[in-house]
Amino acid sequence: MGTNRSYPSDLTERLLAGVPPDARDAIVAGSRTRTVRSGEVLFRTGEPAELLFVLRKGRVQFSRESRSGHEIVMGILGPGDVFGIGSILTQRVHYLGTAQALDHGEVLVWTRETILALNDRYPQLSENALFVALRYAAEFADRHERLVTVTAEQRLVGALTRLGVRNGVRTPTGIEIRIKNEQLASLADVSPFTASRLLQQWERDGVLHKGRGFVRIICPEKFPLD
Amino acid sequence: MGTNRSYPSDLTERLLAGVPPDARDAIVAGSRTRTVRSGEVLFRTGEPAELLFVLRKGRVQFSRESRSGHEIVMGILGPGDVFGIGSILTQRVHYLGTAQALDHGEVLVWTRETILALNDRYPQLSENALFVALRYAAEFADRHERLVTVTAEQRLVGALTRLGVRNGVRTPTGIEIRIKNEQLASLADVSPFTASRLLQQWERDGVLHKGRGFVRIICPEKFPLD
DNA sequence: CGGAATCTTGAGCGGCTTCAAAACCTGTGG
DNA sequence: CCACAGGTTTTGAAGCCGCTCAAGATTCCG
């Protein structure tokens, strides 16, 4: 099996919630710690779901590629996030997106075989996975609702604030988000041009500061409301 | 507990896959059979997920209401479909859509308390629920991809063919789908006017026949390709 | 038959996207 | 230190897809 004997404070909380400490040890012991380089692809859309991941350090982009070639970013994952959940199923399924590291980082990895055996002993695993899966479903549903109801500007505001809360880091001058225009645009379902223009405008209004590869939100309450 | 002692052939297959027959009996015995009238609401968006459903007869619309008041149809469920999956979680969650019967029909219902107890004995339940949840997530992801990549016309073709496969009934003259323009439009993420115009055009081309509340696909292979 | 729900039709228009090209940053290597 | 090449972002102008809105036509049901 694996090589881990200890587990990080609560970075596996989503997967191991409600699991007693000794069982946690056993489960984490079945994983392998793996470091990933920036840009490394962990799996691709449509591949059989053979591995389960918990992100420890760094960020991972979850995306799809449309046949017209352009990338649809479905989410930016951060430490603690669980992905590759299909691997917990006895029935084989396929990954529904591509996972690609955005930074140098670290993940816990279980093989399907291992996680299935563990789930046999600790069925709480699949229950927790169900919780995670439902959260993903809810996120997709929310995003879809926004896409068909609100304007491009409102979607961009929403995407920025969500990113700020989940992936932003506090700095003396505001909340900094490491993201490129193109990713941000895709997350908000807006063209990169529209994203650029709106960011531009908000920078003039003193709401945020931006540079290549990042946005720093200075004054979130000054975002347009309606 | 409930009143059911027998279970229908494989209408609970999604929920009970991989569960041995005697266990199936026990699980189904924990449910209550309930008939629903057309138009009846089983639960609403945001309510705590207290009940688990398996649809036996009839159809159920799964939808959301945007704050601007208009309805977003997320899916049309048919016999065998499982919904209200959040009820299997120990952690309380909320329904992420509204379930409304479209016909007079019949459902199996479990209370959260019951299904949690059953899941304790038969953890296969939450694994199967995970499978279902991932399918929903995949469906949302697909729909989103279509919305941002293909045209309104292509989405409408897609929605129609999917409906035909899942909810359509064979007739001598084609595959008949019971659906109103407005539902169809929402499923395809198109305005009802656009839907009407396109259907009109396809009727002229002899691809389908339509009336109030239904569409009969005569010649699916004649749908526009690109 | 009346009335409500559903569907159609036309005209107008508007929010975004598209496209091309230029400007801009940033790390690299001479 | 400077120049260069790559990726990234900006800008402007043009256009279009599909939506909106209002009004009318149709169908169904009680």
pLDDT tens across A156-183, in order? 999 999 999 999 999 999 999 999 999 9
Find, among B141, B164, B134, B196, the residue nearest to A132 by Cα.
B134
pLDDT band, very low/low/confident/very high, at A222 (cuts 50, 70, 90)? confident
User: For chain A, what percent of residues have pLDDT higher than 70?
Assistant: 95
Per-residue confidence (pLDDT) for residue B122, from 0 to 100: 95
Closest Cα in chain B to A142: B96
Confidence check: pLDDT of B65 > 50: yes
**Within a 10 A sphere around the Cβ of A205, how many other Cβ atoms?**
12
How far is A137 from chain B, CA to nearest CA, in Å?
Answer: 5
Per-residue confidence (pLDDT) for residue A191, from 0 to 100: 97
| Rounded Cα distance, B3 and B87, in Å | 20
Residues A114-128 have pLDDT tens digits of: 999 999 999 999 999
User: Three-state DSSP class for A65?
Assistant: strand
In one-letter notation, the amino acid at residue B107 is V
| CA atoms B133, A75, A155, A186: torsion sign | negative
Within A 145-184, residues with CB less than 7 Å from strand D: 180-182
| Rounded Cα distance, A58 and A111, in Å | 21
Does the beta-carbon distance from A133 to B133 stay under 8 Å? yes
The two tokens of residue B209 are 């026949």
Q: Which of residues B3 and A33 earns the better pLDDT score?
A: A33
A200 touches strand D (CB under 7 A): yes
Q: Which residues of A touch B136 (CB under 8 A)?
A: 137
| Rounded Cα distance, B72 and B65, in Å | 6
Q: Which residues of B touch A123 (CB under 8 A)?
A: 123, 126-127
Please list, in sequence order, all residues whose beta carbon lies within 8 angstroms of the beta carbon of residue A221, skipping any fewer than 6 positions away.
none
Closest Cα in chain B to A186: B148
Residues B149-204 have pLDDT tens digits of: 999 999 999 999 999 999 999 999 999 999 999 999 999 999 999 999 999 999 99
Residue ranges of alpha helices (H) inside chain A are 13-16, 21-29, 112-121, 124-149, 152-167, 181-188, 192-204
Q: Could you say which of A88, A136, A143 has the minimum Cβ distance to residue B144?
A: A143
The two tokens of residue A92 are 């084989």
pLDDT band, very low/low/confident/very high, at B96 (cuts 50, 70, 90)? very high
Closest Cα in chain A to B85: A134
Confidence check: pLDDT of B86 > 60: yes
Place of tokens 């407005």: B182
Phi–psi pair at A69, nearest 5 degrees: 95, -15
Q: Could you say which of A18, A91, A123 has the minimum Cβ distance to residue B126?
A: A123
Per-residue confidence (pLDDT) for residue A55, from 0 to 100: 96
**For chain B, how far is it from start to end, CA to CA, in angstroms?**
54
Q: What is the mean pLDDT of residues A55-67?
A: 93
Does the beta-carbon distance from A148 to B85 stay under 8 Å? no
Place of tokens 């396109």: B198
Q: Does A73 touch chain B (CB under 8 A)?
A: no
The two tokens of residue B17 are 């896959």
Please list, in sequence order, all residues whose beta carbon lies within 8 angstroms of the beta carbon of residue B50, skipping any fewer than 6 positions away.
B43, B87, B111, B112
Q: Does B144 touch chain A (CB under 8 A)?
A: yes
Per-residue confidence (pLDDT) for residue A5, from 0 to 100: 45
Q: Could you say which of B88, B140, B189 has the minimum Cβ distance to residue A137?
A: B140
As a whole number, the mean pLDDT across chain B is: 92
The two tokens of residue B139 are 């469906």
Residue B180 vs residues A97, A115, B192, B196: alpha-carbon distances, Å: 33, 45, 10, 10
Per-residue confidence (pLDDT) for residue B10, from 0 to 100: 62
Residues B1-34 have pLDDT tens digits of: 544 544 445 678 889 998 999 999 999 999 999 9
As a whole number, the mean pLDDT across chain A is: 92
Please list, in sequence order, all residues whose beta carbon lies within 8 angstroms of the beta carbon of residue B204, skipping any fewer than 6 positions away.
none
pTM confidence score: 0.91
Residues B192-215 have pLDDT tens digits of: 999 999 999 999 999 999 999 999
The two tokens of residue A183 are 């990713």
Q: What is the mean pLDDT of residues A93-105?
A: 95
pLDDT band, very low/low/confident/very high, at A67 (cuts 50, 70, 90)? confident
Confidence check: pLDDT of B142 > 60: yes
Q: Does B116 touch chain A (CB under 8 A)?
A: no
Per-residue confidence (pLDDT) for residue B69, from 0 to 100: 82
